[in-house]
Amino acid sequence: MPARSEHRRNDRSSGPSVQSLHAPLHPPVLHWWRTCKPHHLGRHHVKAIRAALLGIRIPGESDWLPAVTGDQAMAIGIAVRQLQAYGMTSPLVDAAVSAAFCIAIEGDPAARTVVVSALRRRRKIDPLCAELIMSWRVARF
């Protein structure tokens, strides 16, 4: 795992190579947590996100497969660790939050809290996230 300062330096310059992180090209579906309102997404979107996540490996996260396939505790734990370790522009954060995002869309309140927390942090660099926070507060699944 790269040192925090080294990773942030990479973030400022066009970002780290996702392939160097043992992942395929960064799929657009992994941006949905920070670009789409929750009521616009359904089961087929969750399936698409999980399919993309299955092709990704997060170094040091041995519980990634259970997290991707719906284990709430694993997904939340990984998302929290990645949010603490990396900047908001990291592809690892997009992947980890996307795993929690799927569980939140399926109705889990703890995963919803993680997504809202990530959106709050992200709104500093992406104003759309402030609007998405409000959407999550009123979303019913």
In a domain, 93, yes or no: yes
Split at pLDDT 50, 70, 90, the class of 9 is: very low
The pTM of the full predicted model, rounded to 2 decimals, is: 0.81
- Confidence (pLDDT) at 6: 36
- 3-class DSSP state of 53: helix
- Yes or no: say if 18 and 25 are a contact pair by the CB < 8 Å rule: yes
In a domain, 128, yes or no: yes
Domain of residue 52 covers 23-138
Average pLDDT, rounded, for the chain: 85
Q: What span, in angstroms and rounded, lies between the C-alpha atoms of 71 and 74?
A: 5
In a domain, 7, yes or no: no
In a domain, 3, yes or no: no
Q: How many helices (H) and strands (E) does the chain have?
A: 7, 0
In a domain, 13, yes or no: no
Q: Report CA-CA distances (Å) from 67 to 35, 36, 54, 98.
A: 22, 21, 10, 10
